[in-house]
């Protein structure tokens, strides 16, 4: 916007000529237009996730508005830590049992884990209908994902054994179907765990029900 100067009578210093109302209105309108453009293309996508023109997504600004979510720990239930008395380990609650049939389509994978206190014991038996990628591992409570510890990664179609948790956390299996066919895995466990959790290839996560002893029908024979 040009500013004109004039010389005051008597040779005094030049005076500044004020812009016309029309020029002021034009300048204000231009500033408001620029502010509106920045609001829609930058501020709303970055601060509020509102992106009516798609410019925020194109510039990577909508990611700035996404809330930062802390990892949600799986529910643990009542802690069942053993108290060792000589050769006997006593627990403050009864053991649970679980039986699952897991079907994996081509190239799908699943993690199935139980929450165990340090030194708590679990018995397990599982079989797969075909060759499966396998990793038995544990994740300590409150630790980052890269803190997972692997206990058994040998290639196998079945395993029968026992496990004593070296730390408090979720412990269990990763199984992956490496081929184009369908694989069925049958898992049976019993132990002093308090909850079971399933994590699938599609990102879904489920807390699975584990059963108490009073659900088993006693034999009278």
- Residue 178 is assigned to a structural domain of this protein: yes
- Residue 37 is assigned to a structural domain of this protein: yes
Looking at the structure of the chain, the number of domains it has is 2
User: ∠ CA(117), CA(121), CA(126), 5° rounding?
Assistant: 115
Q: Confidence class of residue 95 from pLDDT cuts 50, 70 and 90?
A: very high
> In terms of domains, do 48 and 121 share one?
no
- Residue whose C-alpha is closest to residue 120's, from 172, 192, 190: 192
- Residue 146 is assigned to a structural domain of this protein: yes
- Section 132-142 average pLDDT: 95
- Residue 5 is assigned to a structural domain of this protein: no
Residue 25's CB is within 10 A of a number of other CB atoms, namely 11
- Residue 220 is assigned to a structural domain of this protein: no
- Section 2-16 average pLDDT: 53
> In terms of domains, do 109 and 188 share one?
yes
> In terms of domains, do 153 and 206 share one?
yes
Mean pLDDT of the chain: 82
Identify the residue with better confidence: 184 or 45: 184
The reported pLDDT for the residue numbered 37 is 73
**Considering the entire predicted model, what is its pTM?**
0.64
- Residue 90 is assigned to a structural domain of this protein: yes
* CA–CA separation, 123 and 7 (whole Å): 100
pLDDT, one tens digit per residue, over 67-87 is 444 444 444 456 789 998 899
pLDDT at residue 46 tops 70: no
The sign of the CA dihedral 17, 20, 26, 29 is positive
- Residue 14 is assigned to a structural domain of this protein: no
CATH number at residue 180: 2.60.120.680
- Section 179-198 average pLDDT: 96
Instruction: Give the range of the structural domain holding residue 24, as residue numbers without chain letter.
Output: 19-65
Please give the order of strands across the beta sheet that includes 149-152: 149-152, 133-140, 169-176, 109-116, 196-200, 205-208
| Phi then psi dihedrals of residue 185, to 5 deg | -110, 130
> In terms of domains, do 55 and 154 share one?
no
- Residue 176 is assigned to a structural domain of this protein: yes
The sign of the CA dihedral 161, 167, 172, 178 is negative
* CA–CA separation, 125 and 135 (whole Å): 14
Q: Confidence class of residue 151 from pLDDT cuts 50, 70 and 90?
A: very high
Phi-psi region at 77: left, alpha or beta (left = phi > 0; alpha = psi -120 to 50): left
The size of the chain, in residues, is 221
């Amino acid at each position: 916007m040009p500013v004109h100067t004039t010389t005051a009578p008597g040779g005094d210093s030049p005076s500044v000529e004020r812009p016309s109302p029309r020029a002021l209105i034009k300048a204000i309108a231009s500033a408001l237009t620029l502010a509106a453009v920045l609001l829609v293309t930058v501020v709303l996508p970055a601060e509020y996730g509102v992106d009516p023109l798609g410019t925020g997504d194109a510039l990577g600004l909508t990611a700035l508005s996404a809330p930062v979510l802390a990892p949600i720990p799986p529910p643990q239930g009542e802690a069942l830590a053993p108290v060792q008395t000589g050769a006997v380990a006593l627990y403050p609650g009864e053991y649970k049992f679980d039986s699952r049939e897991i079907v994996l389509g081509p190239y799908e994978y699943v993690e199935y884990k139980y929450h165990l206190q340090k030194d708590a014991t679990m018995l397990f038996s599982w079989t797969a209908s075909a060759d499966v990628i396998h990793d038995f591992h544990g994740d300590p409570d409150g630790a980052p994902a890269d803190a997972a510890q692997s206990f058994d990664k040998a290639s196998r179609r079945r395993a029968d054994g026992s496990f004593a948790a070296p730390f408090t956390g979720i412990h269990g299996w990763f199984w992956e179907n490496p081929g184009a066919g369908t694989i069925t895995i049958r898992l049976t466990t019993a132990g002093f765990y308090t909850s079971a959790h399933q994590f699938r290839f599609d990102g879904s996560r489920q807390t699975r029900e584990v059963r108490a002893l009073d659900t088993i029908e006693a034999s009278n024979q």
